[in-house]
Amino acid sequence: MTRGSRARIPATARLVDRFAPEMPVSEPFFTPDDGSARRVWAVGPLMQAIADALSVRFNPVAVRGEISGFSRAASGHCYFSLKDESGQLRCAMFRRAADQLQFVPRDGLLVQAQGRLDVYGPRGDLQLIVEALKPAGQGALFEQFIRLKAKLEAEGLFDPRRKRELPSQPRSIAVVTSLGAAALRDVVTALRRRVPHIPVLVHPASVQGAQAPQEICRALEQAYERFRNSCEGDVLLLVRGGGSLEDLWAFNDESVVRTVVRAPMPLVCGVGHETDFTLADFAADLRAPTPTAAAELCAPARQQRLDELEQLETDLRDVVWRGLDLRVQRLDRLAQRLGRPSGRLHDSSQRLSALQHRLTSAVQLRQQRHALHLERLSFTLPQAVARALSAHVQRLDRCGAALGLLDPMLVLERGYAFLSDRDGRAITQAAQVRPGQSVTATLADGSVDLTVDR
């Protein structure tokens, strides 16, 4: 027993004696074998007596230590521990005092707390009711975090230029975390909801404790090897739920950070809560605020992809129809440039067929008013086709009659003859024949062989 502890005993004993007559006991006093009389305490009064003794001996008290496990309840009360190399003390800070804070408490921060010691009777815990809190520097772990971060950053491990984009459509997703962690359940739930068709490969590892860094590195290397050999897990999630700076320290280990940097596939780090940062976050290609967010970042919702496909279908249909319209217009222009009636008639028929097909398709895709308009067109089109066909037939008849007037036989019937030599070449000039040459005269009803006299 130290000198300080011996000095505290008399004060505590005197305080207990002062409150003893008022405290109920569970059994009557008894006399031990040594003959001295001792009181038997009920638990609650004993806790109250100890709390009063602490209050008389120490309160008010100032304590310096590093924040660990800080949390703020919905009521506004704050709960955390103060620790150093040799001890740990539970602390509670009620909303009134917490609202007066001039800084944001976080794990690893070295602070000085002013308050009063108390005993929380229902659990028998010693706690410090903090009435004022101020920073007193950085904690040892946080200082170690800052030093290692500066070292790795100087080596370029956190360079934004080495970050890679996530695949828009991963074929499979690898996950490194503890099999018993809530983070794994959160990730699997999010992936099952958003991309149930994508397989998930889990590489288990401890995420807390002395063995965690080695197991995390081993699990990461297994995921890398599987990706290199079979291209499985083309995006990797490194996840863990929230906790204190000590709980997350495995993800600040230098070997873990260097292993994260060597990832052959894009790696998403979702460790802790939104306010938690680890060195693995800086080394990863993308940092997610929570494990669930990490899953959502690498797996777009199924409905979102379906909407994108539907939009692509609409765009493709519009492009096809625009292309068809341009080609129909080009055919129309070419048809107008053609000179033969038969060709025009053929092109007009094709154009009418194309128009009819367009109108029929438009009825299926457009609104009801377009359907009514098409119905009116389909009623008038047959008449227009008949009229156009009749006009073309009449014109063809006129062209046939004009062509008949140019028939050479009509000329022969008026008494003319057509002369040709033995080879069938036409004789149109006297210089083409010589005396004694045989020629043929073609008349309206036959031909006559002749001999040239002179």
Q: Kindly give the residue spans of alpha helices, DSSP state H, lying in 338-443.
A: 341-365, 368-405, 408-413
User: pLDDT tens-digit profile of 39-76?
Assistant: 788 777 887 887 777 777 778 889 989 998 899 999 99
Q: Are residue 189 and residue 235 in the same domain, yes or no?
A: yes
Q: Are residue 234 and residue 216 in the same domain, yes or no?
A: yes
Any idea what the CATH number is for the domain that residue 131 is in?
2.40.50.140
Q: Is 218 helix (H, G, I), strand (E, B) or coil?
A: helix
Average pLDDT over residues 414-418: 83
Average pLDDT over residues 410-428: 83
CA–CA–CA angle 363, 367, 370 (5° rounding): 55
Q: Are residue 395 and residue 432 in the same domain, yes or no?
A: no
Residue 151 falls inside a structural domain: no
Which of these, 399, 423, 414, 412, lies nearest to 447 by C-alpha position? 412
Domain count of the fold of the chain = 4
Average pLDDT over residues 128-156: 84
Q: Are residue 248 and residue 370 in the same domain, yes or no?
A: no
Q: Are residue 293 and residue 246 in the same domain, yes or no?
A: yes
Identify the domain boundary among 279, 300, 321: 300
Identify the domain boundary among 385, 404, 423: 404
The answer, yes or no, to whether residue 28 has pLDDT greater than 60, is: no
Residue 147 falls inside a structural domain: no
Contact 270, 238 (CB under 8 A): yes
In sequence order, which residues have a C-beta less than 8 Å from that of residue 104 and are 6 or more positions away?
A: none
Q: Are residue 316 and residue 295 in the same domain, yes or no?
A: no
Contact 385, 352 (CB under 8 A): yes
Q: Are residue 7 and residue 55 in the same domain, yes or no?
A: yes
User: pLDDT tens-digit profile of 275-298?
Assistant: 778 999 999 999 999 999 999 888
78: containing domain: 3-142
User: pLDDT tens-digit profile of 194-243?
Assistant: 888 889 999 999 998 889 999 999 999 999 999 999 988 999 999 998 87
Q: Are residue 415 and residue 443 in the same domain, yes or no?
A: yes
Any idea what the CATH number is for the domain that residue 249 is in?
3.40.50.261
Residue 358 falls inside a structural domain: yes
Contact 25, 41 (CB under 8 A): yes
Q: Are residue 104 and residue 56 in the same domain, yes or no?
A: yes
Q: Mean pLDDT lowest for which of 119-128, 251-260, 277-286?
A: 119-128
> What residues form DSSP beta bridges with 79?
71, 92
The answer, yes or no, to whether residue 16 has pLDDT greater than 50, is: no
Q: Are residue 323 and residue 234 in the same domain, yes or no?
A: no
Total residues found in the chain within this entry: 454
**pLDDT class for 119, splitting at 50, 70, 90?**
confident
